[in-house]
Amino acid sequence: MLSHQQRLISRPSWVKSLDTDLHVFNCRDDDRQVHEVSLYSWNILSQYLFDSTPQWYQYVAKNAPLQWKDRLPKIVDELVNWNADVICLQEVEFYAFDDLQTLLQEYGYNGVMQSSKKRTGQHPYGVCTFYKEEKFKLVECIHRSRVMVSMLQLKTVPSQNVLAVMNVHLEGAPSKSITRVRQLQNAFQDLKNNHVHHDFVIVGDFNSILDKSACSIYLKEGSCANYDHILEWGRLVDSQIASIPKHTYSFHSAYDENLMIESPMDYITFVSSPHRYTAGLDQIWYHDENDSIRVKGLKMSFSSAEFREKILNSGLPSANHPSDHIGIGCILQFDESKHEKRENLQAKEPLHFNAKRMSTAELEETATQLLSTIDFEGKDEFLSIIKNSLNVPSGEKPSDEEIQQIRSLRLRKKELFESLPQEKRDILMEVSKLLKVANSRYDK
């Protein structure tokens, strides 16, 4: 597994397009077989919010696109220009989705809108996701509070794996860090327990800053157990956040956290009034536990320093930019040799066999069948260690040399075990138990 420092060494380049190849191809750098998926995320600013909170937008110039009919073509132009495989939008009103769908279909996209339960009331908007029909098939969609997960099956690569795209617009109140993390955790739990998926990306408006929030800690570390150092929006998070259940994914941010220190101006994603801006509010995360994914390219917030200065001086929205957020995007490159072996990330039923009621032949046959369901580097070595460990004569005191050998085998077994994802560990633990019982019967 690459360390955080190793990931920094090969920082991806800034790109001017998110266009990707449709099929698997040979990577020019090292001749790997790869395929690519690009993602674009943008909070397009709800017309309802813009119209109902004029006090927030007093600075907006009169020549700026203020009505939806004027903002719509500019939004579509931006999306079409970047040409991403998957587009995730936030603050989309339901009539606006219909308009976007009609126009984007001309460019090969189909889309899905968050559940229509919010069509009335004070929040008549949600998130929506568009995908290129030539590249993906929509398998199913999960609708939750502030979150929608689109299960997209890749149509143009041999594996035809399912990519889970989680489009989020998390709770906006600065003080509600616990709510934001719970929104993620609840969606993870549903996805893990009930839905087939082989890859997983999270895209959207987190309403919290990359690497300076409970959400970032939760995604990177799997929990907020070490909550006492988390400072979010100038306040320490409540201790209750430590009780939120862990997740078992291995997430990495497409935009490296070091950007927040080294060049935050390249990662500004929200501009309110002139010279009031926030970096890292909108984010992209991807699950990768076996180093099979690289971030090939990133969308920079501004095309030039001059354009950035113009935006910061005017504030957003402006004459040329129809939202107060700036879109983000990336190209993810998947190693096909590893990707073809990607296992379903959906949780399996817990393994449990009543070894006492099984015959010796059944124990050994079941262990063999379990081993055949998984593949990993060092599998033969692991099995050899188990067999050698089990062949220590019972009732006899081992020699010093045998004790040293046993310790070495156990240490190596632990190293191999800890290098594997939890699902494979569970299977190997059950294999060890079955073979241990079988071996004990031979001793008798």
**CA-to-CA dists, residue 83 to 19, 266, 328, angstroms:** 5, 21, 13
pLDDT at 128 > cutoff 60? yes
The pLDDT of residue 383 is 79
pTM for the model stands at 0.78
Mean of the pLDDT values across residues 263-272?
A: 95
CA–CA separation, 421 and 381 (whole Å): 17
The pLDDT of residue 440 is 76
Q: Tokens 């019972």 belong to which residue?
A: 394
Mean of the pLDDT values across residues 410-437?
A: 81
CA–CA separation, 414 and 420 (whole Å): 10
Q: Is 61:195 a contact under the CB 8 Å cutoff?
A: no
CA–CA separation, 54 and 68 (whole Å): 15
Q: How many residues appear in the chain?
A: 444
Read off the pLDDT of residues 54-92 as tens digits, 9 standing for 90 and up.
999 999 988 888 999 999 999 999 999 999 999 999 999
**CA-to-CA dists, residue 97 to 139, 185, 212, 377, angstroms:** 20, 27, 32, 47
The pLDDT of residue 355 is 78
- The model's confidence at residue 389, banded by pLDDT at 50, 70 and 90, is low
pLDDT at 264 > cutoff 50? yes
The pLDDT of residue 123 is 64
Q: Is 186:235 a contact under the CB 8 Å cutoff?
A: no
Return the SS3 of 238.
coil
Q: For the purposes of burial, counting CB atoms within 10 Å of the CB of 442, is it exposed (0-12), middle (13-18) or buried (19 or more)?
A: exposed
Which residue from 147, 161, 87 is spatially nearest to 343, judged by alpha carbons?
161
- The model's confidence at residue 427, banded by pLDDT at 50, 70 and 90, is confident
Which has more confidence, 444 or 415? Answer: 415
Read off the pLDDT of residues 199-236 as tens digits, 9 standing for 90 and up.
999 999 999 999 999 999 999 999 999 888 899 999 99
Residue 96: how many CB atoms within 10 A of its CB? 23
pLDDT at 187 > cutoff 50? yes
Least confident among 122-126, 233-237, 327-331:
122-126
- The model's confidence at residue 117, banded by pLDDT at 50, 70 and 90, is low
Report which residue type is found at 388.
N
CB within 8 Å of 136: residues ≥ 6 apart: 85, 86, 152, 153, 154, 155, 163
Which residue from 36, 41, 16 is spatially nearest to 150, judged by alpha carbons?
41
pLDDT at 159 > cutoff 90? no
- The model's confidence at residue 249, banded by pLDDT at 50, 70 and 90, is very high
- The model's confidence at residue 266, banded by pLDDT at 50, 70 and 90, is very high
Which residue from 370, 326, 323 is spatially nearest to 74, judged by alpha carbons?
323
What is the percentage of the chain residues whose pLDDT exceeds 90? 61
Least confident among 2-6, 60-64, 270-274, 396-400:
2-6
- The model's confidence at residue 340, banded by pLDDT at 50, 70 and 90, is low
Least confident among 38-42, 125-129, 360-364:
360-364
The pLDDT of residue 8 is 41
User: Which stretches of 265-345 are DSSP H helices?
Assistant: 305-314, 336-339
| Structural element, H or E, at residue 33 | strand 33-43
Do the bridges between strand 277-279 and strand 328-335 make them parallel or antiparallel, or are there none, so unpaired? unpaired
What is the percentage of the chain residues whose pLDDT exceeds 70? 90
CB within 8 Å of 134: residues ≥ 6 apart: 22, 108, 155, 156
Angle at alpha carbon of residue 15, lines to 13 and 20, rounded to 5°: 110
Read off the pLDDT of residues 8-30 as tens digits, 9 standing for 90 and up.
435 669 999 999 999 988 887 77
CA–CA separation, 191 and 143 (whole Å): 11
Mean of the pLDDT values across residues 287-311?
A: 93
CA–CA separation, 444 and 427 (whole Å): 27
Which tokens sit at 297? Answer: 């390219």
Report which residue type is found at 412.
R
CB within 8 Å of 204: residues ≥ 6 apart: 41, 43, 88, 90, 127, 166, 167, 168, 169, 170, 282, 283
